[in-house]
Amino acid sequence: MEPLTDEPQQLFLGTRIRGLRKACGMTLTDLAQASELTAGYLSQLERNLAYPSIAALFNIARSLGVTIQWFFASESIPAPADDGYVVRKGNRQSIHYEDGIVDQLLTPLPNHQLEMLHSCFPPGTYSQQSYSHEGEEAGYVLSGQFELWVGEQHFLLDEGDSFSFASREPHRYGNPGKVDTTVIWVITPPTF
């Protein structure tokens, strides 16, 4: 199988997963058990033969003792005056998920209080399962339609709508529309 992309940012994801797993002294089987994923699937991720789902990367991060933010990678080097304060459009770090969902980190690394993401959801893409974690989240729908479930509540949002919720409530989301949906997320503390 060939890697999914030649984009350096994405090829770095598998390398970061493998490197952190080995640094933690874990085998693929250990990580599979801790993350409730299969060793075969993890091997495909580490070799850049598959994109993770959002929930899968969340489980991997939790099992390795980091946040998803740790996996963001970029070949771009910020200008010295920007370092730690500004993220230029061309220097955004990104993660690609299965089904074409892409998150770009809008806050500089490391940021201790919050993180901001630019998320793009192609038509018909959804997080596969509900998940929860500590903290709070808020978002603003820049374009398209956005479907959001928080606990037992269900919401259909349009361009210009916003939302917030406690992240400990199980949540999932997606794009029910026929065009890309773009959402700006703010999460505190950084768990993504």
Average pLDDT of the residues in 137-147: 98
Q: How confident is the model at residue 13 (pLDDT cuts 50, 70, 90)?
A: confident
The domain that holds 56 is classified in CATH as 1.10.260.40
Same-domain pairing of 32 and 97? no
Encoding tokens for residue 71? 């996996």
Q: Which residue has the tokens 């269900």?
A: 154
Among 63, 66, 64, 90, which Cα is nearest to 76's?
Answer: 90
pLDDT of 41 above 90: yes
pLDDT of 47 above 80: yes
Q: Give the CA distances from residue 44 to residues 11, 52, 83, 122, in Å, rounded to whole numbers and listed in that order.
A: 12, 9, 34, 23
pLDDT of 174 above 90: yes
The domain that holds 139 is classified in CATH as 2.60.120.10
Same-domain pairing of 109 and 184? yes
Helices (H) and strands (E) in the chain, counts: 4, 9
Residue 159 sits in which domain range? 89-188
In this structure, the number of other CB atoms found within 10 A of the CB of residue 89 comes to: 8
Same-domain pairing of 58 and 140? no
pLDDT of 154 above 80: yes
Q: What is the pLDDT of residue 136?
A: 95
Q: Indicate whether 126 belongs to any domain.
A: yes
pLDDT per residue over 87-100, tens digit each?
Answer: 888 888 888 888 88
Lowest mean pLDDT: which of 29-38, 84-93, 117-126, 155-164?
A: 84-93
Same-domain pairing of 93 and 177? yes
State the average pLDDT for the chain: 85
Same-domain pairing of 93 and 53? no
Q: What is the pLDDT of residue 48?
A: 87
pLDDT of 111 above 90: no
| Domains identified in the chain, total number | 2
Same-domain pairing of 94 and 184? yes
Q: Indicate whether 136 belongs to any domain.
A: yes
Same-domain pairing of 97 and 173? yes
Q: Indicate whether 82 belongs to any domain.
A: no
Lowest mean pLDDT: which of 61-70, 89-98, 108-117?
A: 108-117
Q: Indicate whether 183 belongs to any domain.
A: yes
Q: What is the pLDDT of residue 6?
A: 45
In this structure, the number of other CB atoms found within 10 A of the CB of residue 157 comes to: 19
Same-domain pairing of 34 and 62? yes
Average pLDDT of the residues in 149-170: 96
